[in-house]
Structure 1
Amino acid sequence: MSNPELAEIRAFLSLSDKIGTAGQPSVEQFVAIKAAGYATVVNLALPTSTNALPNEAEIVTSYGMEYIHIPVDWEKPQVEDALNFFEVMAANHDKKVFVHCAANMRVSAFMFLYRTLCQNVAPEAALQDLQQIWTPAPQWQAFIEQVTTQYRRKNSLKNII
């Protein structure tokens, strides 16, 4: 997707026809997000994150989009946050979803996990997209490994029961 207005959003990356990711959009950029056909906005940033909009939920819903906030602590991401994110993405699989945080770093790690664990995207392909944004810091590498292990363990138990 080559939408110049979306490309102006910090670290914007289109992963598919239905999933766009970025850093924190401005109020005006939510107009472009709506115009691009996104129906749902998922925010993984904390309310205290850089450039966070205190009234983002109201802004997004005023444009007719659904707003979902899963605040993820940059220093201590939790496995539960990733599992909640997977559920949100699965529930919205038929919609265009725009996922953002402050700089698209949290999001790129969460999308790597979602794509490899839930969508069966090859890890090499998902890693290329992740690395377009950043190379995860050690605590995030550990988080990715922890989520992967727990998700696989949980799903293998489901198959046994």
Structure 2
Amino acid sequence: MGDPIDIPNWYRLDDQLTTSGQPSGEQLAAIAALGVRDVINLALHDHPRALPDEAATVAALGMRYIHIPVVFDAPTTADFERFCAAMADRGTRPVHVHCIVNARVSAFLYRYRREVLGWDEAQARPALDAIWRPGGVWARFIGDTARAELPHQMMATPPQT
């Protein structure tokens, strides 16, 4: 089975890690069919595009659901620490990480790759830039002081890798 590229901003980072915007119930089933065992959601449950009772949908598909609600205008170090703990807890199980449009996720993974995995800028930045170029609070969150006073710039069409 191929990747469910119809999910908004679908992005495969490697064999064990995929990301996207908000998947539907049917799309979560396609993610489960890929062998994914953990789903991490960084979006708020009360967002208009959030899936009603996503935790139950994910559980019914045999996957583990981890919810780390990150307020878009106020990501915190505590949010990042919870994310790092969830990534460590999954071990080598395939994981899908999503939010509403894959902006939160790409920023968290960029920071995770830099701070936890020790990747350099040239290794970590392309996956972030494929989705967006954060400004403001998100630029500060990832340590990009050059963009801290600039607005966010979303990419038109992320690559479907």
TM-score, reference length from structure 1: 0.85
* C-alpha separation in 1, matches of 2:143 and 2:53: 34
Q: Which residue of 1 aligns with 2:38?
A: 40
Residues 3-24 of structure 1: CA deviation (Å, up to 9, x unaligned): 24x2111001111110100000
* C-alpha separation in 1, matches of 2:113 and 2:104: 14
1:145-156 equivalence runs, <5 A: 145=143
Decide which moves more: 88-97 or 100-109. Answer: 88-97
* C-alpha separation in 1, matches of 2:42 and 2:54: 12
Matched, 1:84 2:82: yes
**Structure 1 residues 136 and 53, CA gap change in structure 2 (3 angstroms):** same
Matched, 1:3 2:2: yes
Q: Which residue of 2 aligns with 1:29?
A: 27
Residues 32-60 of structure 1: CA deviation (Å, up to 9, x unaligned): 00000100000000112241012100000
* C-alpha separation in 2, matches of 1:78 and 1:91: 20
Q: Which runs of 5+ in 1 are unaligned?
A: 147-161
Q: Which residue of 1 aligns with 2:15?
A: 17
* C-alpha separation in 2, matches of 1:40 and 1:62: 12
* C-alpha separation in 1, matches of 2:44 and 2:109: 18
1:4-153 equivalence runs, <5 A: 4=3, 6-145=4-143
Count of paired positions: 144
Residues 67-88 of structure 1: CA deviation (Å, up to 9, x unaligned): 0000000011111000110111
* C-alpha separation in 2, matches of 1:50 and 1:13: 22
TM-score, reference length from structure 2: 0.85
Question: How much does 1:98 deviate?
Answer: 0.2
Report the structure, 1 or 2, having the larger helix content: 1
Instruction: Give yes or no for contact 1:50–1:102 (8 Å, CA) kept in 2.
Output: no
Identity rate, percent: 40
Please state whether the residue corresponding to 2:19 is helix, strand or coil: strand
Instruction: Give yes or no for contact 1:44–1:69 (8 Å, CA) kept in 2.
Output: yes
One-letter code aligned to 1:133: I
Q: Which runs of 5+ in 2 are unaligned?
A: 145-161
Please state whether the residue corresponding to 2:18 is helix, strand or coil: strand
One-letter code aligned to 1:99: V
One-letter code aligned to 1:75: D
Superposition CA RMSD, Å: 1.4
